[in-house]
Amino acid sequence: HNDLNLVRSLEPDRTHIPQAEAQGLDASDLYVTGQNQMLNRTVLAVPIYTGGRLESQMHRQRHLFQASQCQLETRRQATILEAKRQYLSWLLAERSQEVAVRNQEQARQLESDTCARFQTGAATGYDLMQGQLAVAQAADRLKVAETARESERLKLARLLHQPLEQAMRPLDRLGSRNLLAGEPVLDEDPQQLAAQALQQRPELEQLRHTIESSLDDEGVARSGKLPQLIVNLNYDLIGNTLKLRGGFALIASLYVPIFDGGMAEARGHEAQLHRLQLKHQEMAQAEEIVKQVMQAHWSLEEAESRWRVADSALRRTQEALRIAHKRYDVGAGTTLELVTQTAALERADYSLAQADYQRMQSRAQLRWAVGAP
């Protein structure tokens, strides 16, 4: 605390003080005009009793810091889930491209066989046209799959803050054992999973710390009605520019609030209402978490069931295509039959890939809903 007072008289007293002359410099004169009074006070304040205000403020800041840590953990888990989803979308696009490449190879082989049979008279022009159409359709689907794969790669690179032009190669294959092992199934029933989520989700922990900070706000409000004792150690430096004096002073101050117009009670009531609002938010958040766990569990059961159906359908379609090839080789089948069965196998491959994607995504969603690491 600096308090500088300058008092100037109407007719200043001019005092001439000669200074030493230096080579190349003119004589220097110092004029003191009027009277300069200065007060420099340094204060060390030690609160002895504040009615719990300082303790409540320190506890409040600690709870707010812990709440911010929980908020950071919430954002971290959401980012991890988003990255998993995008990675699975990229793996699905890779799998779709593999199916399109395999379908194109089969279409070209069918066209080659049909051309050979057409030259020998064993196939008609309609059969040849069907083979050529199958090749064109396979090339179109492959182009679409390549575009989708590149689009998913760019989305993943942007999410991971990687250079967009950098080449990326997946280390996993959709539906592989290593990928499934990375997202183990939670075997507990939905009620147990919901109970775990209520203990592990950082959103609830954040609200609990915020509620604790509101209790500290009530303590700060109550301290406004209590007396405070503060001890000050002052050092005063006083005088003018030619003569300064200093000294220490120890002062004890007792503040007793008599009437504040109801401010302390109003602040306490506001803190109580805020705490009740946070309590309602905690209850609503708990209900939302339980709902998310239940929905994720049901989605996982549905995804597992669809995967079993898709896997069984793929095996049956493969067997049907094998029989169609045998019929075609002995001359009992047609090119249209082979094209139809090949297209059915392609659809079954796509369905199984989609089922693998849904199963992995449902597992990741359930682990996020429970708050599992």
Compare 41 and 35 and report the one with higher pLDDT: 41
- 64 HSE (CA, 13 A, CB side): 11
Helix (H, G, I), strand (E, B) or coil at 239: strand
Q: Of 185, 304, 227, 186, which Cα lies nearest the Cα of 52?
A: 227
Q: Write out the two tokens for 240.
A: 């003018």
Checking if the pLDDT of 204 tops 90, the result is yes
In angstroms, the CA 213 to CA 363 distance is 36
Out of 17-21, 273-277, 313-317, 345-349, which region has the weakest mean confidence (pLDDT)? 17-21
Helix (H, G, I), strand (E, B) or coil at 251: strand
Q: How far is CA 220 from the centre of its chain?
A: 33
Considering the domain delimited by 2-370, tell me its CATH architecture.
Answer: Up-down Bundle (1.20)
Classify residue 91 as exposed, middle or buried by CB count within 10 Å of its CB (0-12, 13-18, 19+).
buried
In angstroms, the CA 224 to CA 1 distance is 26
In angstroms, the CA 163 to CA 150 distance is 14
> Do 355 and 303 touch, CB atoms closer than 8 A?
yes
The pTM for the full model equals: 0.76
Quickly tell me which residue has 């082979």 as its tokens: 338
In angstroms, the CA 51 to CA 30 distance is 55
Helix (H, G, I), strand (E, B) or coil at 234: strand
Every domain of the chain and the residues it spans:
2-370
Checking if the pLDDT of 15 tops 60, the result is no
The confidence band for 241, taking pLDDT boundaries of 50, 70 and 90, is low
The confidence band for 4, taking pLDDT boundaries of 50, 70 and 90, is very low
